[in-house]
Amino acid sequence: MLDLATRVGRPPRRINRFLAEARLGWVDARLMVAMPGRERALRLVAVVLFCQRASYIVPALLGMTSSADRYHSPALNVALLVGAVGWNVVLGALVWRRGWFSYGNVVVDVAITCGLLVVVNMNIRSGFELSAANWAGKFALGSAALVGAVLSLRGLLVGLGLLVLTAVAAASVQIGGLPPWESGFVNHVNSSLWFALVLYFIRRFLCAQASAVDEATQRRLAAETATAAGAARYAERLHHYRRLHDTALATLTAIARGGLDHRGEDVRRRCGREADYIRSLVTEDRAEADTTLATSLAEVVADATGLGLRVHLRSGNVPVQLPRHVVRAVCDAAREALNNVARHAGTGEAWVTVDWYDDVLGVRIVDRGKGFDADGVSGGFGLRRSIEERMTEVGGELQLFSEPGHGTSVELLWPASSPEADG
């Protein structure tokens, strides 16, 4: 089979794997849309926090040479700046993989900032304690904002108090007393307080709004799915009612009125054909023949809910009419993927995203569970037979991304140009 990723213009598989293992949605706009609203809100706040930090660190880096005479040891100042940049790179990598800051990240960040406040103040020459050369004060604004965004109100007060007390103590030692009220130092303390409070309320407001939107979306999708399924069933019943009216009912009415002799050979053959049709309505699984992908996936999600999973279903602009055997294969594969989440992932939540991109159907099942080494596992019956082989049989393919501790992404791809598209 040709490489489907190349055929539809997607990134190479190695890059695709990197994106998946790096929690995807930071760069994949389609997955970002498919994420729960709370997760999108947290990622937006995280980007804002790192942009704020960059606005403080970049000027200090650019001014290293011009302000070298303001430090007892310019080399120490450079080392401190490099250390601050290095910590932010590490922090950024952790947040990239996890999606948000942990309490441990905040504790380490506050500890590093307090250390910088002390050491940078000790390295500043007399007369420059309250100048722009004391970049640690602005660096503390970023830590204050992080404290406000991540911690509870009590944690905010404790973290902010520790930062302010450390800054006051370090500045007081250098200038031989409390900083004057009109100094830039007091402005930094004031800004730290308000940055922390603003981020505290922004994060909680965005998350609350996102959760409300998600709940409303789930209710709307459930209602639309139920309406679509009801409309499909009604259309099917109407079709059969009309067919019965034009065939069996018309024949019986004609016989009852004496217009047809039920003993005639032609009438008997006609009655036999119509009896076969009525029998097919009773014995044939007609629902499967006319079920759309959206309806079938809604049933799969409902079954997964019975296993104790909370499944978020997001559906893009997918054609209503897809080959019956493709709908069956994709839904059976998705069902097994969700079964694997329930059995092995160690999490109670999963996301199912349906997309149609360049005439390729994509169904992605993502969990934030414990994951596994995808390269080191050959795949058991569930992966090989219930998922991969089902997709291969209809001309599609399975793309699997996972890493221990970072969840799993199962992507089911089926191109409309597949030779098996006509069944």
What is the Cα 218 distance to its own chain's centre? 15
Q: For 248-253, which contacts have Cβ atoms below 8 Å and span 24 or more sequence positions?
A: 248/274, 248/275, 248/277, 248/278
> What is the rounded CA–CA span in Å between residue 109 and residue 163?
11
The torsion angles phi and psi of 285, rounded to 5 degrees, stand at -80, 85
Torsion, CA 113, CA 114, CA 120, CA 123, rounded to 10:
-150
> What is the rounded CA–CA span in Å between residue 166 and residue 187?
16
User: What residue type is assigned to position 285 of the chain?
Assistant: D
Cβ atoms within 10 Å of 403's Cβ, excluding its own: 19
> Quick one: tokens of 223?
């209602």
pLDDT in the model for residue 14:
47
Beta-bridged to residue 74, according to DSSP, are none
CATH architecture of structural domain 1-25+291-423:
2-Layer Sandwich (3.30)
> Quick one: tokens of 281?
């309505």
Q: What is the pTM of this model?
A: 0.56
Name which of 294, 373, 385 is nearest 339 in CA terms.
385
Name which of 185, 108, 192 is nearest 156 in CA terms.
192
**Which residues are CB-neighbours of 401 under 8 A, at least 6 positions away?**
16, 17, 20, 21, 374, 408, 409, 411
Instruction: Give the pLDDT confidence of 254-297 residue by residue, as tens digits.
Output: 777 776 666 777 777 777 777 776 776 665 544 444 457 888 88
Q: How far is CA 1 from CA 5, 6, 14, 385, 395, in A?
A: 11, 12, 18, 18, 8
Q: How far apart are the first and last CA of the chain?
A: 17
- Low-confidence stretches of the chain (pLDDT < 50) are 1-15, 17-24, 285-290, 380-381
Tokens 């069996």: give the residue: 248
Q: What is the 3-state secondary structure (H, E, C) of 262-306?
A: CCCHHHHHHHHHHHHHHHHHHHCCHHHHHCCHHHHHHHHHHHHHH
Q: For 28-32, which contacts have Cβ atoms below 8 Å and span 24 or more sequence positions?
A: 30/316, 30/353, 30/355, 30/357, 31/353, 31/364, 31/366
> What is the rounded CA–CA span in Å between residue 144 and residue 163?
8
Half-sphere exposure of 336 (CA within 13 A, CB side): 21
CB-CB contact of 291 with 232 (8 Å):
yes
Name which of 195, 148, 137 is nearest 170 in CA terms.
137
pLDDT in the model for residue 9:
44
Helix and strand element counts for the chain (H, E): 16, 5
pLDDT in the model for residue 145:
94
> What is the rounded CA–CA span in Å between residue 28 and residue 345?
23
The torsion angles phi and psi of 263, rounded to 5 degrees, stand at -85, -10
Cβ atoms within 10 Å of 15's Cβ, excluding its own: 11
